[in-house]
C-alpha cells in the first residue's frame, strides 16, 4: 500500500538551500526524488531507526529524517541534510 509523503516547510527550504549550493544539482534532485519514492512505498524498510518514531534514509548526497504514521498511512519528512563535504 502507498503512503502519502509530506515534507515540512523547513525541510523544503533546507532542500532548496542545498540545491542552490550544490555543485551537481541533478544529483540533489535525483536523490530527493528517490527519497520521496522510497518513502511512498517502503518507509519502514528504506531507513534506519533513530530512536522513538524517527528514522533516517540516505540517498547520496542527501539524508532525510522522517517519521511514519501507520494509522494515517503518512510519512512526514522533518529534516534534510547534505552529505557533501
Domain that holds residue 35: 1-56
Residue 25: all three cell numbers together: 544539482
In-domain check, residue 74: no
Q: Which residue has the higher pLDDT, 46 or 79?
A: 79
In-domain check, residue 24: yes
> Which residues, 6 or more positions from 38, have their beta carbon under 8 angstroms from its beta carbon?
46, 57, 59
> Which residues, 6 or more positions from 48, have their beta carbon under 8 angstroms from its beta carbon?
55, 56, 57
In-domain check, residue 72: no
Report the predicted TM-score, pTM, of the whole model to 2 decimal places.
0.91
In-domain check, residue 7: yes
Counted domains in the chain: 1
Upstream peptide bond of 61 is cis (omega within 30 degrees of 0): yes
| Parallel, antiparallel or unpaired: strands 4-7 and 74-82 | parallel
In-domain check, residue 22: yes
In-domain check, residue 81: no
In-domain check, residue 35: yes
In-domain check, residue 31: yes
**Over the stretch 8-57, which tens digit does the pLDDT of each residue have?**
999 999 999 999 999 999 999 999 999 999 999 999 888 888 877 899 99
3-state secondary structure of 74: strand
Amino acid at each position: 500500500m502507498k503512503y502519502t509523503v509530506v515534507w515540512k516547510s523547513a525541510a523544503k527550504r533546507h532542500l532548496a538551500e542545498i540545491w542552490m549550493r550544490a555543485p551537481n544539482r541533478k544529483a540533489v534532485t535525483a536523490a530527493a526524488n528517490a527519497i520521496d519514492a522510497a518513502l511512498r512505498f517502503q518507509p519502514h524498510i528504506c531507513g534506519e531507526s533513530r530512536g522513538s518514531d524517527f528514522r533516517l534514509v540516505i540517498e547520496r548526497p542527501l539524508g532525510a529524517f522522517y517519521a511514519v504514521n501507520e494509522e494515517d498511512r503518512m510519512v512526514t519528512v522533518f529534516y534534510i541534510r547534505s552529505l557533501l563535504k
